Structures are given as C-alpha cells and as structure tokens.
Chain A
C-alpha cells in the first residue's frame, strides 16, 4: 500500500520533467538568470549613463537626452572611428576567411609533420591577446622593428646579396627608403595595415579550428557519394563542400567579427588610437572619451553605437546560417 502511494508522487515528478514545456525552461533558466543579472543590469545602467552627463566615474548625472549621441556624431574623430571599426573588421575577416578556408582543407588530410605545423598555427590563439599585442608593438617598433631590419638588410647567408626592400620597390608601387624605413605604427595608412594584420593574425587559428570542425563533420557518406558521382577537386568544393561548410563558415565569420569589432586591446596597445586618432575604433574612442577624458556619458553613448550594428549583423548572419543549414 505504502509502496504504491510512494510511487505516485515520483511518477508525477517524472511526468513533470517529461513535459517539454517544463523541462526546457528549467534547463534554460539558470543561464538566462545569470546573464540577466550580470549583463542586462549593467547594460541598462550604461544606457542610462549615455543619456546623462555623468563624469569621472560617477554613476549618476543630469539628464541630457540624446545630446551625447548627437554630439558624438559631430566629432570627426568619431566618424573616423566608426569607419575604422568597419574597415578593420571587414579587411581582417576577409583575410581570415581565405586563410582559414585554405588551412582547414590542407589540414584535414594526414601528412607528416602535421602535428608540428598545426601547433605553430595555433600559437597566436594561445597567446593572451594583451601580451601578444605587446609582442607586435615590439615587432613594429619605431626603431628596432625586425620587419624593417629584414627589409633593409641582406638576408642571404654567406656571399651574394638579397635585399628585400629592393624587391618590394621593384614589384610594388611603394618605395622603401633604407635609411628611413616605414613607420608601421606612425604613418596613418601603415598603422591601419598594422592593426588589421594583428587582428587577422589573432583570429586565423580560431577560425581554422572551426572550419576544421565543420569539414570533419561532413559525414563520410556524402564524401563517398560525391566520389561516386565523379565530383572531385574544384567541382566537389563548389557543389558539395562549400554548401555544407556555409553554416559553419558563417559562425566562424560571426565570431571573428565580434572579436575584432568589439575589441579594444589591440588598438589600445599598438597605437592608442594614434597617430593623431587615425586608428581609433569605437571601443577605443569610447574609452578615451569616457575614461581618459572623464566624460562618462559621452563615452557610453559612443560605445552604444556599436551595439545595434553588431546585433543587426549577428541576426542577419545567424538567419543566413540557419537557412543554409536546413537546405
């Protein structure tokens, strides 16, 4: 008798957990709660700050409406920062996509030395980005840049002479003066390239790993079916691999975009936004305005410009990924 009554509540509890409707929220709730407290709360406060004239770390201020948003737009540096954010992201991610795509295809097959080569490729991702950026600061140093040294010195061991800068001068429209080598972080144009290179360097291993996962998850049957149909090489890539890769490529691209556009560390360490604000991004410019200069409200507004743009991009890409995955 008791056994029966004891069994009933247990069965009821089980039934509760069986219901999709209940199990799902139970499983999702902890994550959502956590995120709500730690992100939603502060985010709302940041939004409030952007509508106020708060300064110098104080979390309160007088209401100024949309002034901060409008004033930000008036400043030419802000417009450059906005443009740079787009430029850095697009340029570096194009490089990343091509590189990661090539690398993933090459790394999927076994060959000798693959482990070592893969280790080398993973290194940039393993280095904590603040320290990695300092290493690049040293590589692009105004006086001791190893890049410059390699360009203007003879790199052929022993007799004979091979001066890379002469090759660059011959092939490309640029001219490198051996006694006044390029200032990678001091020339406004070169600095853009330097920042893009570091962003790409850092994301390529990460994207490669994701692409590899995508490639590896293509079921063998598909592979075999393609072979049976006679699709090899480029045809196979275009009609089989690429469509199957699309969802995962979209994911990799999306993360790459977030890592670059929302990142402050690389620019902050390499150039501080210089030379004369030519490499500012929204994140660094917001930091400069809100923290260094003390205009917290303005800084918050500048930072919040980034959010809707990123969100829109994210939603579009996620929808695209979903559609391509269903087909």
Chain B
C-alpha cells in the first residue's frame, strides 16, 4: 500500500476525530455516571465530570454481579447469540449461494422476497409467535429464542450473502470445475473459503441483531435466570418509579466494550479479506 501523504493523514484525523468524539461521548458519560454515588449524582450543584461525596465507587458494578443475575443474563445472551449465528450460517450460506449462482432470473425475485420478510416488525409477530412457542412448550426456555431469532437473521444474512457471492468472479469456480471438481466440491472447497469476509460479516451482523433484540425475549422469557441482558437489566434496575441510573450505565458498559473490541478485531480480518486474498 502506498504511503499516505501528510495531507491525507491530516484529513483523516480531521474527519474521524470529531465523529469518534461525538459517537463515543455517551460512553464517556456512562463511565462517569457508573462510578458515582447517589449523593454525588443526584445533586444539581455538582459538576458532572468530577467526583465528590464518596465517588468514585465500584459498588454499582459489583452490585450487578452480586445482587442480580447479571452474569446469567450475559451468558444467556452470548449463548443464544453464538448458536443463532451458527444456525444462520447453516441456512443462509447455501441459500445465498444458490440464489446468487444457480437460480437464474427467479433467483433475484426469491432473494428480494426473502429480504422482504425481514421487514415485518417483531411487534407485529410477537403475539402470534407467543402462541406458537407455548404450543411447543418452550416458554421460559432459551430454546424459544434460538428457534425464533433466525427468523430475522436468516433473511438478512441470505440477502447479504447473495450480494456477496455475486461479487466473486465466476472464473474461480469455473476453473475448479474445469479441473474436474463437482459442484458440491467447488462449493465447499473453493467458494466458501473465499467468502470468509462475507461469512464474517454475517457473523458480526447476526450476533449484533441478536444482542439488540428485545421484544421476543421479553415475551417468551420471564424466569429471571433465563433472561437476556436487555430484559434482565430492565426488570432489576427499573423498579416502578425508581431508576438505578448508575447501575443501568454500568450494565450498558459491560457488554458494549468487549463487543466493540471484538467487532474491531473482526473488522481488520474482514477488510483484509477484501483487499488482500485472492486478487493478486
């Protein structure tokens, strides 16, 4: 890669800097709030960006782990996320490939059709689905989420992968077939490995869709130990008309920072997959 000129570098800083500040500011504020005591926080006279009256305190963080089932919720969310990502890949990889390569004209329409199902908001579906879940006996079990979440990750991912597979030159596959490989073998040995960036994209996006989901987990799960972070935090830290703001901020920070780190790491590989890789 050619070295970037000083002017280009400066330009980058000038653009990225302010955005980074604005986007990350809420987290900066969350950090301050999470370490404050009640006396410090609920006083209009106090300067928000300073500690007084007993702050900083780690009580707001430790209380999450000792007095609530926060750890359970984290595990549940991670577990559901991981499994749903795997399920999503299993369904959407073949479907995306088929729609991109094998299906000619109707492939585009089916692809669009699949994407359209993603547009149906969960707030419309959650009531009928709760009936389905209870008929299946899955109420209050994480399996209900594992079953239902792919309903929005799969359309999204299929469509994403379809677009992605289209950008892989056919020559690659043709070359393999010329060498005698069957379609299936080509698929498994040539196409899927090359589509790593696409797969990583699906992994990240599906996982983030799962972590953000709220309506279904609220509807299907009421047992405290089986909740995901969003619903669990709401139940424990918003009690009637009392908001435990510091705890809420702490509860938000704890998953966000590792996730952002994870995404950042994946991002490197994922972009490297685009710029490096096969096109040498």
Direct contact of A and B (CB under 8 A): yes
Could you say which interface size class chain A belongs to?
35 or more
List of A residues within 8 angstroms of B229 by Cβ: 128, 131
Q: Of A102, A103, A123, A129, which is within 8 A of B27 by CB?
A: A123
Say yes or no for A275: interface residue by CB 8 A criterion: no
Indicate whether B20 reaches chain A with its CB closer than 8 angstroms.
Answer: yes
Which residues of B from 168 to 203 have beta carbons under 8 Å from A? Answer: 182-184, 197, 201
Which of the residues A31, A43, A124 comes within 8 Å of B125, measured between beta carbons? A43
Q: Mark A112-147, 1 if CB is under 8 A from B, else 0.
A: 001101111111111111111011101100011010
Q: Provide the bound-state CA to CA distance between A300 and B26, in Å.
A: 35
B249: nearest chain-A partner, CB-CB: A135
CB of A273 closer than 8 Å to a CB of B: no
Q: Secondary structure of the A side of the interface? A: helix
Q: Per DSSP, are chain B's interface residues mostly helix, strand or loop, or mixed?
A: helix
Smallest CB-CB separation from B14: which chain A residue?
Answer: A106
Contact A139 B112 (CB under 8 A): no
Other-chain contact of B102, A27, A117, A118 (Cβ < 8 Å): A27
Contact check, B131 vs A59: say whether CB atoms are below 8 A apart: yes
B23 touches A201 (CB 8 A): yes
A23 CB-CB contact with B under 8 Å: yes
B13 at the interface (CB under 8 A from A): yes
Measured CB to CB, the nearest residue on chain A to B126 is A42
B44 at the interface (CB under 8 A from A): yes
Do B24 and A123 have beta carbons less than 8 Å apart? yes
Bound-state CA distance A106–B233 (Å) is: 37
Q: Is B71 on the interface with A (CB-CB < 8 A)?
A: no
A23 to B101, CA, bound (A): 11
Query: Which residues of chain B (125-150) have a CB below 8 Å from chain A?
Result: 125, 127-129, 131-132, 147-148, 150
A-B pairs under 8 A by CB, number: 274
Contact with B along A143-164 (1 / 0, CB 8 A): 1101001000100000000000
Q: Does B86 contact A (CB under 8 A)?
A: no
How far, in Å, is A293 (CB) from chain B's closest CB? 14
Task: List residues of chain B with CB within 8 A of the CB of A173.
Answer: none
Q: Are A314 and B116 in contact (CB under 8 A)?
A: yes
A143→B23 contact, CB < 8 A: no
Are A115 and B151 in touch, CB under 8 angstroms? no
Give the complex CA separation of A209 and B259 in angstroms.
Answer: 15
Number of interface residues of B (CB under 8 A): 103
Given A132-B26, A216-B274: A28 touches B125 (CB 8 Å cut-off): no
Q: Are B11 and A106 in contact (CB under 8 A)?
A: yes
In the complex, which residues of chain A have a beta carbon less than 8 angstroms from the beta carbon of B27?
123, 127, 135
State which of B51-59, B61-69, B89-97 sits at the interface with chain A.
B89-97
User: Is B223 at the interface (CB under 8 A from chain A)?
Assistant: no
Q: Given contacts A17-B182, A126-B259, are A262 and B279 in contact (CB under 8 A)?
A: no
Chain A: CB-nearest residue to B210: A128
Q: How far is the CA of A40 from the CA of B42 in the complex (A)?
A: 49
- B23 engages A110 (CB within 8 Å): no
A128–B112 CB distance below 8 A? no
The residue on A at minimum CB distance from B5 is: A109
Least Cβ–Cβ distance between B72 and chain A, in angstroms: 16
Q: Whole-angstrom distance from the CB of A7 to the nearest CB of chain B?
A: 15
A304 touches B124 (CB 8 A): yes
- Determine whether the beta carbon of A38 is less than 8 Å from that of B151: yes
A143 in contact with B44 (CB, 8 Å): yes
Greatest chain A CB density within 10 A among B17, B23, B44, B116 is at B23
Given the complex, which residues of B lie within 8 Å of A45, measured CB to CB?
Answer: 128
A31-B158, A123-B257, A251-B160 given; 5 more Cβ-contact pairs under 8 Å: A35-B154, A106-B11, A121-B19, A130-B230, A217-B274
Contacts A/B (CB < 8 Å), 13 sampled: A17-B182, A25-B98, A39-B120, A102-B15, A120-B24, A126-B256, A129-B212, A130-B234, A131-B252, A144-B48, A255-B156, A264-B123, A310-B119
Binding site for B on A (CB under 8 A): 14, 17-18, 20, 23-28, 30-32, 34-35, 38-43, 45-46, 49, 57, 59, 99, 102-103, 105-107, 109-111, 114-115, 117-132, 134-136, 138-139, 143-144, 146, 149, 153, 201, 204-206, 209, 212-213, 216-217, 219-220, 247, 251, 255, 258, 262, 264-265, 283, 286-287, 296, 300, 303-304, 306-307, 310-311, 314-315, 318, 322, 325
**Which 7 residue pairs are nearest across A and B when measured between Cβ atoms?**
A42-B128, A27-B94, A126-B259, A31-B95, A27-B98, A24-B102, A216-B274
